Each structure stands twice: as structure tokens, then as C-alpha cells.
Amino acid sequence: MPYPTRITLNTPLDMHLHLRDGEMLHNIAQASAHTFSGAIIMPNLVPPVTTKEEVVAYRARIEEAIGDETFTPYMTLFFKPSYDRAFLESIKEEITAIKLYPAGITTNSEGGVSGFDVEDLRETLEAMSDLDIPLCVHGETNGFVMDREAEFVSIYERLAAAFPRLKIIMEHITTKESVAALDRFENLYATITVHHLFITLDDVAGGMLQPHLFCKPIAKRPEDREALLKVALAAHPKVMFGSDSAPHPREAKESCGCAAGVFTAPIALQLLTELFETHNAPLENLQKFISGNAQNIYGIMPPAKTVILEKHPFTVPESYNGVVPMYAGEEIKYTITEVSDG
């Protein structure tokens, strides 16, 4: 069936987004807020977001930065094993999820978890289960870079088995091992980025080294990308789009010791549409992948938004307010021609 040249997407959601803070927040927030109805906002600021006051204040700064765009920032808290039931009850209305980082595993994660002893985590995770607060996890060990995520799967399984009512979201999965884990535990879910659907390690380091495609988890092998594509294109009900769009200033990317993160927010929907078209996957699956599945999994009701894309080439800008996006200067197939509320 030929793809339509004009495509309508409803109420897109980005279930994993870095908006940063301060000047960077102001530089990049609108890139997401214009085309998405909402996003799960990562809490790894410096220092990380760990109190109710910080959540409320960060949301206010985001709302100020997005101006009058219709966009819901779904706030998260930076996981600490010291959170007790009373604290979680007090903060429940302000947050949509809690994000767990292994200590030191990625940008601004120094204060994360360094052991995964179930008993150490029991009080917090049982309270989260009872209060129906999902746990989002950056699942990498400190092992060899190509093995870190696959090695973490056993930790996912341990947590999923120990806390069967806790919704555990494996964030930005990149491996066939994580995909396989999805179907072994009812309470495991996943987000998938747009860049991991497009690239492998070959694109990062197979030709010249490409710092703007360097991210954590690093892009893996072709068979890993195939496994991700399979569940994304089929809109597997336990997977959602989450961009992990992560802006860094150009100088932090193009230098000796480049920071991890790919900035995709302004081109994610165009690239996903191109991807689904290339594979001739049903448009209804794209709609589920970028919105429906997330609404079901998180039980959220985002504000309605309509995004219209047309199939004519769009040249990705060299930079958005100093942040170099994925595929800067390259031509992609779809252009967003209209965005409206409702």
C-alpha cells in the first residue's frame, strides 16, 4: 500500500527527554514543546532533582521556557534508595515516574545507585508499587561498553521478579537482549530512541568518528538494531518512543573528550515517519509508538495536538541555538507543515 504524502500524527509524546536547565533549557525547550504534547522530563540536573520543591520549581522553569505552547512536562524524580513511603506519598501528585541511574553511568548521574541489592531497595520500590509510580531505569553496568546493557538485563529481571506490581521501564534500549526481556516479565516496558532505530556503532566509529552520534548507551550491532526495529514498527504494546534527546553545546561535542548525547527533538517525528514509510509499516503503528502505547502504559491524558507532515525534503539546520542536531546539514524526507492544538 503506498504511503500517503500527507500524514497526520496525533498527540505525540516523547517518553524520555532531557531539557536541562538555565540557558540551555531556554534554547531547546521549544523544539520539543512545539511538536509534542508532552514528555517525560529527566531529573539529572546538577544537582539532581530529589525534592518536591525542586520538582515544582523545575516544572515552573520549564513552563516559563516553553511559553504558550501546549505541552505537558511529565516530571520525574532522581531515584534515591532513601525515599520512604511518606515522602513518596507527599510527592506523588507532582511526578509521573522516578528515574534510577546506576552511579556514574552517564551525564550527571554521579549520585545514582551503586548496588542493586533487592533488600536495599525494597522499602522504596514497594512503596512505589503501592502508589503506582513507575520506575524508569538507565540499564547499564560498568562493564565493557558493548556489553553493559546486555549485562544489566539480569538486574532488570531481578527487580521485575521481586516487585511484580512495579512498572519498570527499560529506558533507551539498544540490544536484542533487552528486547527479549520485554516478553519474559509482565511488568517490564521500554522506550526506544529514534537514533537507535537508525544507527549502529558503524555510523559512530566505522568511518570517521562522529561525535554528534555518540551517546549512552552507545549504538550497538546491526542485529540489535534489527531487534529494536521489529518491536517499534510492530508497535509492540510495551514499547514507547522516547527520544533521549540530549543537548550539549557544540564545543562539548566537538572536542577532545566529547560528551554523550544526541539532539533529536526537532527532527524525531520526521525521522520516525520516514522510518515507518521505508519499512512500509502501518501508520496506525506509528501512532501507537509515538503516543497510544505511552498513554496506556503510564495512564496519562496528554493535551491533544495535531502534527501534519508532508513528504518533501527538509534540510536539517546546522544548529538550533548553538546545539547541533542529529543529521545537521543533511536532507531528510519529511517536513512538518502544520501543528495545531486539538
Instruction: Work out which of 75, 121, 204, 262 binds its own copies, going by CB under 8 A.
Output: 204
- In the complex, the smallest distance separating the C-beta of residue 144 from its own copies, rounded to whole angstroms, is 6
Near its own copies in 26-85, by CB under 8 A: none
Residue 211 contacts its own copies per CB under 8 A = yes
Phi/psi at 170 (5° precision): -75, 110
CB of 249 to its own copies, least distance (A): 13
User: Cell numbers of 295, please?
Assistant: 498513554
Nearer to its own copies, 82 or 144 (CB): 144
Selected range binding its own copies among 86-94, 127-135, 213-221, 237-245, rule: CB under 8 A: 213-221
Interface characters, 255-274, with its own copies (x: CB under 8 A):
xxxxxx--------------
Residue 318: its H or E element: none
Size of the site for its own copies (CB under 8 A): 27
Identify any residues that bridge with 61 across adjacent strands, giving them in sequence order.
none
Q: How far apart are CA 44 and CA 231, in angstroms?
A: 28
From the list 128, 19, 143, 144, the residue with the least C-alpha distance to 84 is 128
Measured in residues, the chain has a length of: 342
Amino acid at 208: M
Distance CA 59, CA 53 (A): 10
| Grid cell for residue 55 | 520538582
Is residue 202 involved in binding its own copies (CB under 8 A)?
Answer: yes
Q: What is the 8-class DSSP label of residue 21?
A: S
| Cis-peptide into 217, omega within 30 deg | yes
335, 273 in Cβ contact below 8 A? no
ω into residue 266 within 30 of 0, thus cis?
no
Within 89-148, the residues that bind its own copies by CB under 8 A are: 144-146
221 touching its own copies, by CB under 8 A: yes
Choosing from 14, 117, 147, 244, the catalytic residue is 244
Q: How far is the CB of 216 from its own copies (least distance, A)?
A: 9
Between residues 172 and 305, which has the closer beta carbon with respect to its own copies? 172
* CB of 250 vs its own copies, minimal distance in Å: 9
Examine residue 218 and tell whether it contacts its own copies (CB under 8 A): yes
205 binds its own copies (CB under 8 A): yes
Query: Judged by CB under 8 A, which stretch of 172-180, 226-234, 247-255, 263-271 contacts its own copies?
Result: 247-255
Active site residue 244: yes
Q: How far apart are CA 252 and CA 260, in angstroms?
A: 9
Q: How far is CA 145 from its chain centroid?
A: 20
**Residue range at the interface with its own copies (CB under 8 A); choices 89-97, 115-123, 172-180, 254-262:** 254-262
Whether residue 317 is preceded by a cis peptide bond, meaning omega within 30 degrees of 0, is no
Sole window of 24-32, 87-95, 112-120, 252-260 interacting with its own copies (rule: CB under 8 A): 252-260
Q: Could you say whether residue 200 binds its own copies (CB under 8 A)?
A: yes
Cα–Cα distance list, 253 to 105, 117, 211, 214, 266 (Å): 18, 35, 6, 9, 18
210 touches its own copies by CB under 8 A: yes
User: Using CB under 8 A as the criterion, which residues of the chain lie in contact with its own copies when the complex forms?
Assistant: 144-146, 200-202, 204-206, 208-212, 214, 218, 221-222, 253-260, 324
Residues labelled catalytic:
244
